[in-house]
Amino acid sequence: MKKVKYTPEIRDRAVQLLIESEKDYPSNWAAITAIAPKIGCTPETLRIWYQKYLDKQNPIKVQQISDQ
């Protein structure tokens, strides 16, 4: 399987699309699995991008976890 390299712009746009669309789905995972094929990535890839986005938004939480 060929590894695809996505630009930061595509990653950011994908995460923004997920955030905007979450309310239309019963769960976060449902939104991820619906949006990922539209972007051309796997749901797991989009989930990882979203988690990294959340970690950047709340660095204190990440620091607390790493201190444990």
**Residues 53-62: tens digit of each pLDDT:** 998 887 666 5
Query: What CATH number is associated with residue 13?
Result: 1.10.10.10
Residue 2 maps to a domain = no
Tell whether 3 is covered by a domain. Answer: no
CA dihedral (22, 28, 30, 33) positive or negative: positive
Q: What is the pLDDT of residues 14-58, one digit of tens each?
A: 999 999 999 999 999 999 999 999 999 999 999 999 999 998 887
Residues whose CB is less than 8 angstroms from the CB of residue 40 and which lie 6 or more positions away in sequence, other chains included: 4
Q: How many domains are there within the chain?
A: 1
Structural domain boundaries, residue 39: 8-67
Q: Is residue 14 part of a domain?
A: yes
